[in-house]
Structure 1
């Protein structure tokens, strides 16, 4: 009987680690743009070139500026849905640049949007590094 009491008394404090984390109070934001809670992270950089869709791909790998989440939209406009997001500091494959809604962030205006290869969603070129230019990617 004392053994059972000892086991319960010694194991009970560890049960607090099994409790789930509380849900975040609000959606994460980047430059005042809210990332949708139901958004899914876009597929990152991949070297896998033996897939049929990748054999002749001429995509470019670019890093996302900043450290937070950035919306990846279904079209090159902030009015389009954002089913995906990309993470600042991570690298992603982009295949082309599209002219779209001009976005001004921190006094810098950019009207280009870069399209990811895997999801086909658009990230404002403000957030992609200098390797993802219209000259490097070409127009969509």
Structure 2
């Protein structure tokens, strides 16, 4: 049987460890940063008649992996800088079937804007 004094001592030590210190609460700037955090976005393929190429790298010369269908929504994880197409130099990264590829931002809707997607 465990002595009552040992139980009380352990309970006091545990509550002391669990109690937050004044310095551990998030500041206003930390909270603002958390609220402004960018994350993956669901975006539609636009500005193409049928399919747009999803490439190995954010480059017009990189090989094509998949064709993403016009009007279909896909989840893009982040945005990378690369070759420009029609004035758009950002590329949206997606992973499909365990393979990562990039689509120029010209071909994704405004849900994949730089304000919404994080940098890769």
CA RMSD of aligned residues (A): 1.1
**CA distance in 2 between partners of 1:67 and 1:139 (Å):** 28
Shift, 1:68, TM fit: 0.9
Shift, 1:67, TM fit: 3.5
For the pair 1:129 / 2:109, whether they are aligned, the reply is yes
Shift, 1:103, TM fit: 1.1
For the pair 1:95 / 2:77, whether they are aligned, the reply is yes
Asked if the contact 1:67–1:89 (Cα under 8 Å) also holds between the matched residues in 2, the reply is no
Q: Secondary structure, in 3 states, of the residue corresponding to 1:137?
A: coil
Shift, 1:117, TM fit: 3.1
Larger fraction in helix: 2
Count of residues in correspondence between the two structures? 79
Q: Secondary structure, in 3 states, of the residue corresponding to 1:121?
A: strand
Give TM-score scaled by structure 1 length. Answer: 0.54
Q: Secondary structure, in 3 states, of the residue corresponding to 2:115?
A: helix
**CA distance in 2 between partners of 1:102 and 1:67 (Å):** 20
**CA distance in 2 between partners of 1:79 and 1:67 (Å):** 21
Q: Secondary structure, in 3 states, of the residue corresponding to 2:106?
A: helix
Shift, 1:80, TM fit: 0.4
Asked if the contact 1:74–1:83 (Cα under 8 Å) also holds between the matched residues in 2, the reply is yes
**CA distance in 1 between partners of 2:106 and 2:57 (Å):** 16
Shift, 1:138, TM fit: 1.0
Selected match of 2:41 from 60, 81, 84: 60
